[in-house]
Structure 1
Amino acid sequence: MNTDLHHLLGAYVLGGLDPDDLALFEAHLQDCGACRRELAVLEKVPMLLDSVPVPDAVALTAVPGGSGGAGATPARLLGELASRRRTLRRRWAALAGALAAACLAVGLAVGPLLARPPHPDATYSVASGGGLQVNIDMARKTWGTELAVSGSSLPAEGTLSLWVRDRAGGEDRACAWTATPSGKVKVTGATPIQLGSISSVELRDGAQHAVAVITVP
């Protein structure tokens, strides 16, 4: 066995040879039975050691009677293994940083678009002398109409509800909510009645009395 080339065995196992040494050592393997037998044992070492922490791997390879040549000792293999792990960690950290920066950039660009409310197809409002005010934005949907409701100086107790009446006289409750002590509200409701078929929208209190009525022309 040529010991001058045998010292390359450890680096060969871990893929650390440059192209010239790789070609030289692979040619050597064709004629050296001892290196081929040792390679059969050592070629599984990186896979096995990668599955456990380096300190544990050191303890395992310290068992007396372990295989290894002059240049392929467990200590040398572990040193190269640790170096390879550090390199991989640095590469993954750099990749993760680049991905995080890209995701942040996309989030900053898309976030304001997602945060924008849908453009209403119609807007109505009603106010009373007591300060009560109700605003409703209506948006056409394939399934009906979406209603964004905001109001102030509303009843501060009980349950409030928004009812939509169609031009044929039918009605549908679009949403309901518990009154707030401040008398303010911002809620979104929905009705299967298409926007073009809505004749009026009515805000009712818990006793189903009309608090505000919006007529849709």
Structure 2
Amino acid sequence: MHLQCLHLTGFYKLILIFCVIALTACQNEKKQEDPPEDYNLKIEFKTSNLQLDSIMLKSANRKKQMTAVYKNNAALFLVEDSINDLYDLKLYTHKKIINKKIWLKGQNIHIKGKLAPQISIDTVINSPLYYTIQENSKILRRLYEEDEKNPEIDAYLLTKIKELLASPISFAMADTYMYRNQNNLKKLQDLKVILDQQSQNLKTHSLSVHANLNNTIAQLKD
């Protein structure tokens, strides 16, 4: 799987990574013709004049995608791995396909929103990460508006990376921190100390910045 990210400056780069990470892969589809009796992710959308037929779900770190029929005003998924990733949603209507990307982490998650005609998320139950990201974005926006070179931005990013170390969202924040400090060996080493504490599974995640960070540090040492 290849991840393509545009190198934008500052806050807008981070928002792009949060919301519009481009995922390209050869995907194997697993269809759920009937809603599973046991499920751990439920998605509901209130629709206006659009008929919602099915929803495709795919995590950033997996090639396999799942497609569930939209039945009884909901799409139900039994996600085999733990829910802790950036998820790509494709909503298939009778008129068009609508895309949405969302960070989730938790168990028995319930997403409620509207489709009129674009997607808006109203409530995400059992995934505090979703709301944490919304709050982080507001704080970063304020800091960048005050001064893009504000040293508080780096301090804030490091603090949040520590707090979110068990989620791949930490890579989105780390990538922005690295871009801001791409020529500062000391600051990059500070980031490495934090990220080195991650589990091996996360270090090999498709969104991981470990290889890039290690290469950059090595180049600055030469």
TM over 0.5: no
Normalising by the residue count of structure 2, what TM-score does the alignment of the two structures yield?
A: 0.22
Higher relative contact order (CA 8 A, sep 6+): 2
Q: Which has the larger radius of gyration?
A: 1
Q: Which has the higher helix share?
A: 1
